[in-house]
Amino acid sequence: MLDIPIMFMKEDDFICEGVVHYLASIIILTCVAVFTLIVGVSVSYYRFEIKILLFEKLNFHPFDQNLGHGNDYDALLLYHPNDTQWVTDTLLTELENRGFRICVIERDFQLGGFRGEELHETLSKTHRVIVVISNDFIHSSNTITDFYHAYEYCKSMKRNRFLIFIELEENVDMMDHEVFRKYQTTNVFVKRRSSRFWARIAYWLPQPSNYNDVPVLADDTV
């Protein structure tokens, strides 16, 4: 620094160039760290939504798919008889049009057979169970019995992602069934009015070879 009387020195003369570079580096590194943290938190929070988007738009599915082989069905449907119209006209039609092999108890079980035994046998031959939850389903002893049969089978066989839930109605009363409340916070629990409803259901199913051949129904058709 030049030998200049302090009264004639400019403000910049008091700042060391090395200090300036150091402070600039600190600021840049802090900004990068904050940006990285924000991106990381966002990706973590929206991770499943990103998976669904990639699956829906690009049929890109390297994450959670568990194909399995040799089963007769891709999914077994459990639902209350009062919900038959929506299940058969909308859910079943869409899934079978997509190439999924769906088991419907009223259609595919043998007449006169013992329901419990046939249900257990079917559970061993299906990749997934889709449970359509409504207030009628929750308060029916028959449908609840079928569900808990499937749930106990899932636990005994230690099969992950075996159960898929569709909440057909708003505000279904699940207070008496802790199992449903446990699944409510997971990604396999899908509300009927969810965005990308069909992609969320198909995401958990084994993908048939012709999956992209049929246009997906819009969410407002659900």
- Helix, strand, coil abundance in the chain, percent, nearest 5: 55, 10, 35
Q: What's the rounded mean pLDDT across residues 71-91? A: 93
Answer for the pair 163, 150: CB distance below 8 angstroms, yes or no. yes
Report the chain's mean pLDDT, rounded to a whole number: 78
In sequence order, the 6+-apart residues with CB closer than 8 A to the CB of 37 are none
**pLDDT given at position 31:** 79
3-state secondary structure of 126: strand
**pLDDT given at position 112:** 64
Strand spans (E) along the chain: 73-78, 102-104, 126-133, 163-167, 189-191
Residue 34 gets the label, from left (phi > 0), alpha (psi -120 to 50) or beta, of: alpha
Kindly report the pTM of this predicted structure: 0.73
3-state secondary structure of 177: coil
**pLDDT given at position 103:** 92
Answer for the pair 166, 132: CB distance below 8 angstroms, yes or no. yes
Q: Which sign, positive or negative, has the C-alpha torsion 150, 155, 160, 161?
A: positive
Most confident of 5-9, 101-105, 115-119, 158-162: 101-105
- Above 50 in pLDDT, residue 19? yes
Place of tokens 């669904």: 52
Listed by start position, the domains of the chain span 6-45, 67-221
What is the fold, at CATH topology level, of the domain defined by 67-221? Rossmann fold (3.40.50)
The alpha-carbon radius of gyration of the chain (Å, integer) is: 28
In sequence order, the 6+-apart residues with CB closer than 8 A to the CB of 74 are 95, 100, 101, 102, 126, 127, 128, 205, 206, 208
As a whole number of angstroms, the distance between CA 140 and CA 157 comes to 26
- Above 50 in pLDDT, residue 6? no
3-state secondary structure of 103: strand
**pLDDT given at position 46:** 64
DSSP 110: P
Q: What's the rounded mean pLDDT across residues 97-125? A: 84
As a whole number of angstroms, the distance between CA 222 and CA 220 comes to 5
Q: What's the rounded mean pLDDT across residues 180-191? A: 86
